[in-house]
Amino acid sequence: MQHANLAVYILEGAMVFLILYKILSARAGRRLFIRRIPGLSAIDEAVGRATEMGRPLLFSPGIGGFNVVSLQALAILGHIISLVAKYRSRVIVPTIDPLVYTIAEEAARDAYEANGAPEAFNRDDILYLTGDQFAYASGVVGVLHREKVAGAFYFGDFFAEALILSENGQQVGAIQVAGTPQVTQVPFFIASCDYTIIGDEFYAASAYLSREPTLLGSLVGQDYSKAILLVLMVLGIAAATWLTITGFPSIEAALLRITTAFNG
């Protein structure tokens, strides 16, 4: 079992403090700025296009179980459904995990109700397809082709099925936006989707879309935390380079102590 060590206490403590501090200051009314993320702006465009064409949208929350990534995906789904409810369009949500299915259904119902269109909620549009990776992929491909979707969103954990889904989306001419924390799948999405959210933009999505103070504060706190990591990296690179050039023993000893502390 892995447990925290001194380095984790310091680093994680600092990051948690920064994130919470920024959340609290944002909730207290402080205005925060976040840059434009084109992939997320394209969501509005995709929903509008689907409405004009009279065709549905598809949202896949990935094949992960019920975890932080799925929760983030469902937060994005909530925003998309708000737009869909506003434009009186339709979104199909195929899921692979029963827990995610249950929460997606709840999220969809809430989003339609919150936008004054409870009658637009169709329980049959939230699908629990299967628990198997490739059976899920073939199920989603079937939906993409049968429904001729105008837009497809892939947000969540994706693995080998990523390319199968997005290439079929391309074939039906859907405008596609994808975002995943699975680094190995990002190139596939970049190759086959119109817009791809990469890295931590995935976690920034709900803040960007909803502009809720809590989420914005959290996002700014994340950026400060990344700045700490960046400074540490630069210092580490500089120290290691200097050590290689000079072989100065005190730096070496200090680096060793830090390395051992980080290793648990």
Partner 1 sequence: MILLANNLAFSLFVPQARPAVLAAYIGVCLALGIGFIFLLTAMPTRFRRPIVIATTFILGLFYFLEFMFPGRQMAPLRDRLAAAESGFRTAQQDLYAVVVQRNDVSARLAHAGQALNDAARSLDKAAEMIDRVKPDAEEQLRRAAEDASRWAKARGVPGKVLEFDAETGSISDIRTQTYRKRVGDLAKAAEGMSDARAAMEKAQSVSASTPPKEVDAIRGSLAAGADSLALARSNLSDNFLSPYTQPVGDVSVVIGAFALGLGIYGLAAVHAKAISGKRPGWLNSLAFYVAMIAMTLVGFLKDYLGKRPAQSLSESVYNILFYGALNALSATMFSLVAFYIVSAAYRAFRVKSGESALMMASAFLVMLSLVPFGVLITSGLPVHGWASIFRLENIGHWILLFPNAAAQRGMLFGIGVGGLAMALRVWLSLERGSYFDKEM
Residues in region 31-60 near partner 1 by CB under 8 A: none
Q: Any contact of residue 250 with partner 1 (CB under 8 A)?
A: no
**Measured from the CB atom, is 44 or 167 closer to partner 1?**
167
With H, G, I as helix, E, B as strand and everything else as coil, classify residue 175: strand
To partner 1, the closest distance from the beta carbon of 54 in angstroms equals 19
Q: In the complex with partner 1, which residue's Cβ is closer, 51 or 203?
A: 203
3-class SS of residue 177: strand
Distance between CA atoms of residues 198 and 148, nearest Å: 27
Per CB under 8 A, 80 contacts partner 1: no
Shortest CB 41 distance to partner 1, Å? 19
CB of 78 to partner 1, least distance (A): 6
In whole angstroms, how close is the CB of 64 to partner 1 at the nearest point? Answer: 12
Instruction: Find the binder of partner 1 among 116, 118, 173, 199 (CB under 8 A).
Output: 199
Least distance between partner 1 and beta carbon 97 (Å): 8
| Nearest distance from C-beta of residue 151 to partner 1, angstroms | 18
Residue type, 63: I
> Taking CA 37 as the corner, what is the angle to CA 105 and CA 95, rounded to the nearest 5 degrees?
20
Closest CA to 19 of 168, 144, 178, 200: 200
Residues within window 107-126 making contact with partner 1, judged by CB under 8 A: 107, 109-111, 124, 126
> What residues from 135 to 194 belong to the interface with partner 1 (CB under 8 A)?
135, 137-138, 160-161, 163-164, 166-167, 170, 181, 183, 186, 188, 190-192
- Rounded Cα distance between 238 and 251, Å, is 11
Q: Please say which residue, 52 or 233, places its beta carbon nearer to partner 1.
A: 233
Give me 200's structure tokens. 């931590």
Contact status: 102 vs partner 1 (CB under 8 A)? yes
Determine, following the binding rule CB under 8 A, whether residue 208 of this chain makes contact with partner 1: no
Nearer to partner 1, 48 or 210 (CB): 210
Give the C-alpha separation, 261 to 94, whole Å: 45
Per DSSP, 131 falls in state: S
Nearer to partner 1, 150 or 164 (CB): 164
Cα dihedral 160, 166, 168, 173, rounded to 10, equals 180
DSSP 51-115: HHHT--EEEEEES--SSHHHHHHHHHHHHHHHHHHHHT--EEEEESSHHHHHHHHHHHHHHHHHT
Judged by CB under 8 A, the residue of 147, 198, 239, 242 near partner 1 is 198
Answer yes or no whether residue 263 interacts with partner 1 by CB under 8 A. yes
- 215: contact with partner 1 by CB under 8 A: yes
Q: How far apart are CA 177 and CA 189, in angstroms?
A: 9
